Amino acid sequence: MSMGLSLRRLGRVDYLPIYAAMQAFTAARTAETPDELWICEHNPVYTQGLAGKAEHIFNPASIPVVQTNRGGQVTYHGPGQVVAYPLLDLKRAGYFIKEYVYRIEEAVIRTLAAFGVTGHRVAGAPGIYVRLDDPASHALLPQRPMKSESEKWGSDPAAKRNGFPPLFSGGPNFEGLGKIAALGIKVSRNGTYHGVALNVAMDLEPYARINPCGYAGLQTVDLSTIGICVGWDEAAELLGHKLTRYLAP
């Protein structure tokens, strides 16, 4: 039975001590350990995931690069970004990793909606994206994750029968999109750590020195870039609320 998420606000902190604290928390937790949600803001840092490749970081300059054990590739954390780390017992929560990721993304989408922005999922590329030409548009992306076989394979049933690849199989298509939230997780002994980062009002220049999440040319945006003026505290409060709600069993 879940005890609910206990919210901890950590302020602006260096990345490495929090990474170490998440690992220690997860290693020490038992079946009775209450779940926690840590919300913070990091000083500038590039973090590299397990799938990360050195060539995706062009010029880190004075920004440190930290190798981590989360999924995914390289991303940037810095001031003006809300970072949320759910430390959750998935077994107790009663759902699997795929649904966990979906629930985190849903919390981000609902947070953005409160600010008049429509967040989108892109098939094969975890995280949340916005339309650059119309961030409020509800129009569905053709490259969204497909739920049914008919959507996945299109109008030609012979494609499935003959083993042809489904539509949009050439990798994620980011045309006209900007990434506003990045997601990378780790699960150890049913315990989750790492999490999600929502860009609020940042210096986005450091993203130009990497292939964000391993994708060349992927544009990264924040709320201020798309015309939404909101404070870090307000965004953090709302994202924390939405995560607490959507990660509930």
- Enzyme catalytic residues: 213
- Dist. CA 97–CA 86, nearest whole Å: 13
Of the candidates 138, 145, 135, the one whose C-alpha atom is nearest the C-alpha of residue 219 is 135
Tokens of 6: 């206990």
Of the candidates 174, 235, 170, 176, the one whose C-alpha atom is nearest the C-alpha of residue 202 is 235
SS (H, E, C) 127-139: EEEEECCCCCCCC
